[in-house]
């Protein structure tokens, strides 16, 4: 991951000399860098912001006397990337604090998983189940994808593997009713967390979006988590904005970063959506879910 970005950033760091630290001289070099970022799926807007921030930081060190610009340029670049990975304070999500709060109120914590087709929603539900079990929370799954054939069996297999209950109706049934049944089950059995699977839907499929609205209206999830496929590149920006507009999202999980050689989508999505990335999926196994850490990303893209 980040192979090309990493190389490009490191070229940039080598290219800049102290005498070039004026805006005029920097501009073409930074423009090249912006293009490199866009080629690697960082959104236009994010790339421009990183470029602007970079210039601002670099020209502010114009008059200081240093033997080599390298550490300063590297630091400026790291700061600029770090900034784009930040989310507004009011949007931050502390998952386990929220779960504990629900628990102290004696109610299950409800998570609705949504996104377009094939991004990894169902797989991520299994991974989250494992994560929650590792922290000693009990989980029930709601088979809210009553649309795609095989979807209920797919989730049921994960439920069996992980030893959790899945609540399901028939294909073609009302997914909102499935979600409500799962919540009732959690309440009756004192289960901590309900994970609701939903059918993959394109952000422009009105019928399926209406169905999702209904699931959310009736189940009142504590968290609506959008699953973005990092291989979709910055098309994820369009998806996430549309889903947020239609049904609202609180957080993001980016999947398949293990197969993504560009990496830009993961860098750009926080800023584009102004929603935090909570985890990233880095493989098909149940343990292939890692907490999203902006510092780790910065260290990977621009090694010290
Ligand atoms: N390499 C890799 N593959 C993943 C990851 N997450 C999911 N997948 C794979 O992506 C494919 C689709 O995953 P699903 O979980 O079925 O996706 P979905 O969003 O539920 O799909 P629909 O229900 O059809 O919309 C599967 O083959 C998964 O194994 C990941 O982090 N890395
Ligand atoms: Mg699915």
Domain holding 35: CATH number? 1.20.120
101-135 b/e with 16+ CB inside 10 Å = b?
A: eeeeeeebbbbbbbbbeebbbbbbbbbbbbbbbee
Instruction: Looking at the structure, tell me whether residues 154 and 49 fall in a common domain.
Output: no
Average of per-residue pLDDT across 206-215: 92
Instruction: Looking at the structure, tell me whether residues 117 and 209 fall in a common domain.
Output: yes
Cα of 101 to ligand 1 centre, how many Å? 30
Cα of 256 to ligand 1 centre, how many Å? 8
- Please state the φ and ψ torsions of residue 295, each to the nearest 5 degrees: -65, -40
CB contact at 8 A, 265 and 239: no
pLDDT, residue 234, reads 87
> Where is average pLDDT lowest: 66-75, 135-144, 191-200, 227-236?
66-75
Average of per-residue pLDDT across 76-82: 94
3-state secondary structure of 20: helix
pTM over 0.75: yes
pLDDT band at residue 117, thresholds of 50, 70 and 90?
very high
CB contact at 8 A, 226 and 249: yes
pLDDT band at residue 63, thresholds of 50, 70 and 90?
low
Count other Cβ atoms within 10 Å, centred on residue 67. Answer: 7
Distances (CA, A) of 134 to 22, 73, 97, 145: 53, 42, 16, 26
Q: Which of 290, 254, 255 minimizes the C-alpha distance to 272?
A: 254
Give the angle 106-107-113 at the CA atoms, nearest 5°: 150
Cα of 297 to ligand 1 centre, how many Å? 22
Instruction: Looking at the structure, tell me whether residues 163 and 43 fall in a common domain.
Output: no
pLDDT band at residue 150, thresholds of 50, 70 and 90?
very high
Count other Cβ atoms within 10 Å, centred on residue 243. Answer: 24
Give the angle 37-38-42 at the CA atoms, nearest 5°: 75
User: Hey, whose CA ends up nearest to atom 6 of ligand 1?
Assistant: 120
Q: 84, 118, 149 — which closes off a domain?
A: 84
User: Hey, whose CA ends up nearest to atom 9 of ligand 1?
Assistant: 120
Locate the ligand 1 atom nearest the alpha carbon of residue 145 and give its number.
23
Q: Could you say which DSSP state residue 283 is in?
A: S
pLDDT, residue 16, reads 85
Mean pLDDT of all residues in the chain? 94
Q: Which of 131, 150, 284 to mutate to test the pocket of ligand 1 (most atoms within 8 A of CB)?
A: 284
Domain holding 104: CATH number? 3.40.50.300
Cα of 48 to ligand 2 centre, how many Å? 35
What domain range is 80 assigned to?
3-84
- On the question of pLDDT at 288 being above 60, the answer is yes
Instruction: Looking at the structure, tell me whether residues 39 and 106 fall in a common domain.
Output: no
CB contact at 8 A, 121 and 113: yes
C-alpha 48/C-alpha 30 separation (Å) is 9
pLDDT, residue 276, reads 97
Q: Which ligand is nearest to the CA of 253?
A: 1
- On the question of pLDDT at 222 being above 80, the answer is yes
pLDDT band at residue 62, thresholds of 50, 70 and 90?
low
Q: Is the dihedral of CA 28, 30, 36, 41 positive or negative?
A: negative
Distances (CA, A) of 271 to 40, 78, 188, 292, 294: 16, 16, 40, 14, 12
Instruction: Looking at the structure, tell me whether residues 46 and 184 fall in a common domain.
Output: no
Q: Which ligand is nearest to the CA of 229?
A: 1
Count other Cβ atoms within 10 Å, centred on residue 89. Answer: 6
Average of per-residue pLDDT across 192-217: 91
Q: Which of 200, 119, 132 minimizes the C-alpha distance to 164?
A: 132
When divided into structural domains, the chain yields a total of: 2
Locate the ligand 1 atom nearest the alpha carbon of residue 280 and give its number.
31
Instruction: Looking at the structure, tell me whether residues 165 and 244 fall in a common domain.
Output: yes
pLDDT, residue 66, reads 65
Cα of 115 to ligand 1 centre, how many Å? 11
C-alpha 273/C-alpha 251 separation (Å) is 9
User: Hey, whose CA ends up nearest to atom 29 of ligand 1?
Assistant: 284
Please state whether beta strands 251-255 and 223-229 pair in parallel, antiparallel, or not at all (unpaired).
Answer: parallel
Question: In the structure, which protein residues have their CB atom closer than 6 angstroms to any atom of ligand 1?
Answer: 117-123, 145, 148, 151, 200, 255-256, 258-259, 281-284, 288
Instruction: Looking at the structure, tell me whether residues 238 and 126 fall in a common domain.
Output: yes
Instruction: Looking at the structure, tell me whether residues 116 and 186 fall in a common domain.
Output: yes
Q: Which ligand is nearest to the CA of 208?
A: 1
Instruction: Looking at the structure, tell me whether residues 210 and 274 fall in a common domain.
Output: yes
Instruction: Looking at the structure, tell me whether residues 55 and 135 fall in a common domain.
Output: no
Q: 57, 84, 111 — which closes off a domain?
A: 84
C-alpha 281/C-alpha 283 separation (Å) is 6
Instruction: Looking at the structure, tell me whether residues 111 and 61 fall in a common domain.
Output: no
Q: Which of 40, 48, 43 minimizes the C-alpha distance to 235?
A: 43
Cα of 276 to ligand 1 centre, how many Å? 21
């Amino acid at each position: 991951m980040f192979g090309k970005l990493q190389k490009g950033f490191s070229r940039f760091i080598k290219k800049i000399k102290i005498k070039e630290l004026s805006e005029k001289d920097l501009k073409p070099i930074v423009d090249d860098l912006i293009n490199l970022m866009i080629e690697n799926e960082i959104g236009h807007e994010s790339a421009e912001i990183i470029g602007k921030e970079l210039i601002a930081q670099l020209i502010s060190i114009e008059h200081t006397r240093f033997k080599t610009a390298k550490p300063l340029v590297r630091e400026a670049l790291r700061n600029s990337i770090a900034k784009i990975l930040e989310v507004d304070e009011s949007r931050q999500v502390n998952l386990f604090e929220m779960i504990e709060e629900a628990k102290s109120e004696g109610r299950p914590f409800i998570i609705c998983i949504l996104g377009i087709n094939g991004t990894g929603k169902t797989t991520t539900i299994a991974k989250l189940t494992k994560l929650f079990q590792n922290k000693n929370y009990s989980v029930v799954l709601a088979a809210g994808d009553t649309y795609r054939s095989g979807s209920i069996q797919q989730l049921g297999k994960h439920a069996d593997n992980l030893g959790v209950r899945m609540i399901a109706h028939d294909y073609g049934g009302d997914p909102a009713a499935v979600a409500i049944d799962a919540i009732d089950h959690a309440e009756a059995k004192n289960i901590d967390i309900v994970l609701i699977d939903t059918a993959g839907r394109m952000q422009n499929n009105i019928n399926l979006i209406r169905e999702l609205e209904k699931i959310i209206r009736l189940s009142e999830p504590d968290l609506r988590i959008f699953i973005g496929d990092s291989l979709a590149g910055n098309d994820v920006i369009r998806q996430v904005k549309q889903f947020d507009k239609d049904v609202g999202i609180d957080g993001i999980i980016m999947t398949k970063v293990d197969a993504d050689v560009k990496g830009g989508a993961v860098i750009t999505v926080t800023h584009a959506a102004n929603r935090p990335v909570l985890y990233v999926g880095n493989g098909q196994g149940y343990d292939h879910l890692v907490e999203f850490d902006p510092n780790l990303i910065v260290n990977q893209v621009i090694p010290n």
